[in-house]
Every structure is written in structure tokens, then in C-alpha cells.
Structure 1
Amino acid sequence: MRATKISQVAKAAGVSQTTISRYLNGKYSKMSEKTRQKVARTIKELNYVPTASARQLRQSSSHVVGLLVGDVANTFSCLLAKGIDDVLKPAGYDIVMMNTNNLLDVEQRSLQRLFELQADGILIQPDSINYSSFAACRQRDVPLVLIDREVKDQPQDIGKVTSANQDACYHLGRILKQKGYQNILTVSAHFAEASGQIPRIAGLKMAAEDFDLLYYNIETKGESDKWLQRELIKAIHRLRGKTAVISLMGPVLFKILDIFRQFNIHFPEDVGLISFDDWDWSKYVQNGIYLLKQDVELMGRIAARKLLNQIKGKTTQSDLTILPVEFVKKPSI
């Protein structure tokens, strides 16, 4: 698909190219609010992106690949980037990694910026739960691979790499039932609209229903550590029978361990303890913590290969890969 030209935007908006240029450069002093809104609407309707080299001819390849991650401070992002770099660097590609901070508006601005940079392909750990937020990639013939998180209405031929989170959590529910647990108490932190924790919760809910377990979740987004401390202790005391506490993402485990330490709660004596993700440190906590572990570097390598195949094949078509979740069995349950 050919990129929209500034002359086409000007014609559609009924203004001069100079007016469009002024708008793009933030010079609104001689522009009415009505004209400004009309130009903005036309740019959006025509899907026009002023490139960083808009006054130059597009090169056949920039040898740049964009990577959007939800939280650059999360070790998951670092491992993911490492796997991607292992594949793309030897192929001659540089990676522009952007932190969306799990915010939809930042995600869209970052995506537009990658269009401006003429990225040859884009890898995204999505914040938006809707595929329409990323449809502009295909409209611009930019190869795309979505990683880790689920989005709605994604075409089957769009590249995607994720883990079998829902199935793994359902199997975990069966294990807990066999070990005599009556309650599943999860702690989540939904910082993104398209969170990897959503299928995990769905799997545990299904297991609770099928195996006659009580399921309860504590969502921590926007709440203080003090609030989590109060809610977690209250839930543990309220639930009758044997309870398994599950951290639905690695960073939450730190907070749970701190609360257990403060209130002298032992596992597995008082409660069972399980966590998603691991960076080889939890094995040093007592005799280790029962884990559901994703191979994040492998996820990155597979995603990079999918993107590279699209770039080389001059296509935006790819497929889905679902990676298994490893159960690291430790005596914390």
C-alpha cells in the first residue's frame, strides 16, 4: 500500500500544503480551531504519518526493527529483548526498544514514531486488547508480530507468540485439588488492558468450577503495598480450609514474601505458595517456590524469526506459536 502524501491530505482537507506543514510543526497561531480540527481529522482518516525523512525518498530498507514492551523495568522485558537480539543482530538489524509503560496513548505514539523511523518490522507486547490498535501495520505493509499478551479479533495470519497460560493454570488447579487444597487465592496486577494475567485467571476459574474449589483474586493495580498487606491477610484469615496463594506475575511475589515475613506466615505449613515466572532467585527462598515458568528468551527468538521471515519474504503474513509453560516443582505447596 502506497503511503499517503501531504498533497493528498491537503486536497482532502481543502487547505494548502503549507497549512498542513504548519499543523505538523505545531504552528497553530494563524490557524482557526475549525481548520485545526479538520486537518487533524483528515490526517487520521487517511492514516497519514509524517516520516522522519518525509522530505526524502524512502530507502528500500532501514535495517531497523521496533520493539514495544509494557514495562522496561520488568525482567521479562529484558529477557525478551535478549532473545530478539540474538536473532536480529546477526541478521544485520538494529532494535529500537520503546517502553509504553502499559499505557494505550503511549503505545499509539510509540507505534507512530516507529512508522516515522521507517522500521522494517515491529514486535509488540500489546497494551491494547483490540487488534484494531495495530491494524495500521498491515495497512502500511509493515511486518508485525504480537508477543505474550492476547488481543481480540487478531487475524489468524498475523504473527503471534505466546504461552499456554490458560491451560497451565487449569492443570495447576487439578494439582491443587489432588493435594487437598480447598481455596485458590491469586494476587494480580493488571497494569495493561491486554494483560497476560487474564488467561491465567480464566484457567484457574475454570479449574475452581470443575474441581469444586473456591477462587478469589486480589487486584493490586493503583493500590498501595499497605492496602495489599491488609487485603491479603484478611483473605487468608477469612478463607476456611487449605489455601494456595498464587502470584500471577513475578514482581508481585516480592510483595507477598515480604508480607509473609512480617506476619510470620510459613509455606507450605500455613498456606501454599506458587508464582509465575522465575529468574533463578526463588530457588534460594527456603527450599524453593513452586513455579509456572515461561521461556521468555525462546519467546523472543521465535518472534524475531517470524518477523525476519516476513521482512525477507516481503509479506505481512505469519502464524501463531504457543509455547508450553514449565512446572518447576518445589515443596512450597
Structure 2
Amino acid sequence: MAEVAKEAGVSTATVSYVINGTKPVSREIAERVYQAISKLNYVPNASARSLRTGNSRIIAFLIPDIANLFFAVLNSAIEAVLSHEGYQLLVVNTHEDPQKEREVLNSLTSGKIDGLIIATTMSDYREIMQAAPKSVPIVLVDRRPLNNNTDLVLSDSSAASYESVRYLLRRGHRKIGFIGGHRALSTTAERFRAYRDALLDGGVCVDERLVYFISDENTDVEALFCRLLAQGCTALFVGNSHICMQGVAVLADAMGRCEIVTFLDSPEYKPLFDYMQVHVIEQPVEQIGTAAGRQLLQRLSNAEGHIKEISINSIFQPRGGANILG
């Protein structure tokens, strides 16, 4: 640090202020310090900085499925907010396994992280509290556990899901299959409830033979889609785009014979869904991530503030076009 101070023409204390953000300095001085850091290839010692400031400047983000692009987009949005304020994001994949999540939370301590953002696999918030490090602020994202008692940011897809099924009914469909994620998840429960209510309100009984929940990552999703098509489904409500992509070969082959509604979680899926004429429910993933990052920053600055729930509506975007039922 002394070499950086000498190169920038400032005191070592000023270099410390710039690196740690512990005291404001002018833009000119900050730029001189950053230029000196770059020229000398100086790498600040994170451990030493943590000891001096009492903060690690690290936020842990627990996600249930790293292969799901929904969480990749969410991660990017959260990281953009936190990095702007000098925080690093530590991402941990819990593989949709509550025990794995519990082990990760037990391994973390307040000395290692300053905060937690969790897309939880646990059904009850009390389980999270038992495992999480004490006095570390927590923001939950995407999923609502029972007995929640902390900040929560999520999308509300209930109305959009209901609207999408009613749209299919208006187009004449009566055999509408459902494939969703783990039944215990709040997102799956919300979407199935909307699917069920839309059918009942449209005078159609729910046929349990046309309903599947995926609780195992090794499930043969293509086989489930084939089964629904063989049972005469002319439309399918697919609980998330990750499931849809797992059966995309079967669904592509069924184009013109079966209408599909699913969630648009990532812009990467849009060209394919456009080609396949999939009706989509647009998830405000980036907005959710930005709101979660900002809420955690707010909680770090005000630990005693009121618990906040932020809900952002999803939007149903029907594709239109010719009705396959004529």
C-alpha cells in the first residue's frame, strides 16, 4: 500500500479510504489512486481489509439449480447492483436439496459474509433461521417459505397463469396438461392453483392424470410430455422454461398439434419460443434481481427497518395465430 500511496502522491490512509470506501475522497484523488493500483498491479488483501473494517464485502447467493437460466439472469442482476457498491457475490448451488442448503448455511459465519440472498429449497423459514449465521441480514428471492419473517422479493405469476389457461379454454381446448416443478415449492403451488382455478371457472374438471410434478432432477421429462400427448392433450401448461427446454424435442415435433404455455425466464429462449409459437408468461427476472440486491443493501444500512415484501407481476403474452382446433 505504501508503494501505491507514493505513486499516487497521497498518504497510505487515503489509499485505504479509496480501497475500503470508509471515507469519501475527491474524484481526482480516487482516480490517481486507481491508476497507481493498476500500474503497480496492486491486489488488496481481502482478509486484512475484513479485519480492519469488520466487513468482508462478500454476499452469499444460494441458488437451487445453476443449470436453470432463470437463476443465471437473476445472478447477473444481483451482482450488478452489489458490485457497484463494492461487494462481491459468492454463488452456491444447493441442487434443490434442503439438506445441502442447510449444510451450506451451517458452514457460513458472519465473519465470512456480510449478507445472504437465498432462493430457498426449504419449506419453512424457521429451518433457515436454525441453520443461517446469526446477525447476518437475509433477503429471500423467488420463493416464499412458510412462516417467513424476512425481506422477500418475488414475481406474482398467479394472475398471468390464470389468464393463460383461460385463453386456452377460449380457443376450445379442454384437455390441457400441466407439468410443474417440485410440488412443495411456492412457485409451483401458485401456478398449479391458477391452472386448477382457471379450469374450474371455465367449467372443466381437473383431470389428475394430466398433471405431473417433477421432484427429481433425473426425471425423464420427455417421457412425461409424450405421455400427455398420448393421452390426447391439445394444450400444455409448462411450469417453467427449464422444464420446457428439457422436453423441447418432443414439443417441437408436436407443433401444429399442441399449444404450449410456458414462462420466459431468459432472453436466450425467446427466438426458439417465437419459432415454436409458444405462448409465454414473461418473468421480470432482472427486476427481481435488481430489487433483491437493493433490498439487501438497504438492510445492511438499516438492520432494524420494517420487513419488506416486493412483488412484481408477470405478464401473459399470447402468441395469437391460427387455432389448431380449427
Give the alignment's TM-score, normalised by structure 2.
0.74
Match of 1:153 among 147, 160, 165: 147
Q: 1:96 to 1:228 in 2, by over 3 A?
A: closer
> What is the total number of aligned residue pairs between the two structures?
269
- Contact map agreement 2:164 2:318 (CA 8 A) in 1: no
Match of 2:264 among 263, 269, 277: 277
CA drift at 1:323: 0.6
Which residue of structure 2 lines up, in the alignment, with residue 212 of structure 1?
Answer: 203
Identical positions, percent:
21
> Unmatched 5+ residue regions in structure 1?
1-52
Q: 1:300 to 1:59 in 2, by over 3 A?
A: same
2:231 counterpart of 1:238: yes
**What is the CA RMSD across the aligned residues, in angstroms?**
2.7
User: Structure 1, residues 4-44: CA drift from partner, whole Å, max 9, x if none?
Assistant: xxxxxxxxxxxxxxxxxxxxxxxxxxxxxxxxxxxxxxxxx
Which residue of structure 2 lines up, in the alignment, with residue 323 of structure 1?
Answer: 312
Which residue of structure 2 lines up, in the alignment, with residue 168 of structure 1?
Answer: 160
- Contact map agreement 1:186 1:248 (CA 8 A) in 2: yes
Q: 1:224 to 1:63 in 2, by over 3 A?
A: closer
- Contact map agreement 1:148 1:161 (CA 8 A) in 2: yes
- Contact map agreement 1:287 1:331 (CA 8 A) in 2: no
Give 3-state SS (helix, strand or coil) of 1:134's partner. helix
- Contact map agreement 1:137 1:144 (CA 8 A) in 2: no
User: Structure 1, residues 80-122: CA drift from partner, whole Å, max 9, x if none?
Assistant: 1111111111111111111111111110121122325432111
CA drift at 1:230: 4.2
Match of 1:290 among 270, 279, 283: 279
User: Structure 1, residues 158-204: CA drift from partner, whole Å, max 9, x if none?
Assistant: 210111122221222222222222122112232x8435222111111
Q: 1:320 to 1:127 in 2, by over 3 A?
A: same
Measured in 2, the distance between the counterparts of 1:256 and 1:304 equals 33
CA drift at 1:154: 0.9
Which residue of structure 1 lines up, in the alignment, with residue 290 of structure 2?
Answer: 301
1:172 aligned partner, one-letter code: S
Q: Which protein is richer in helix relative to its size? A: 2
User: Structure 1, residues 19-70: CA drift from partner, whole Å, max 9, x if none?
Assistant: xxxxxxxxxxxxxxxxxxxxxxxxxxxxxxxxxx9xx979532211111000
- Contact map agreement 1:218 1:232 (CA 8 A) in 2: no
Match of 1:140 among 130, 134, 137: 134
Which residue of structure 1 lines up, in the alignment, with residue 31 of structure 2?
Answer: none
- Contact map agreement 1:145 1:160 (CA 8 A) in 2: yes
User: Structure 1, residues 109-158: CA drift from partner, whole Å, max 9, x if none?
Assistant: 21122325432111000100101122248882221110001211113xx2
- Contact map agreement 1:80 1:296 (CA 8 A) in 2: yes
2:186 counterpart of 1:199: no
Q: 1:120 to 1:230 in 2, by over 3 A?
A: closer
Which residue of structure 2 lines up, in the alignment, with residue 37 of structure 1?
Answer: none
Measured in 1, the distance between the counterparts of 2:61 and 2:221 equals 32
Give the alignment's TM-score, normalised by structure 1.
0.72
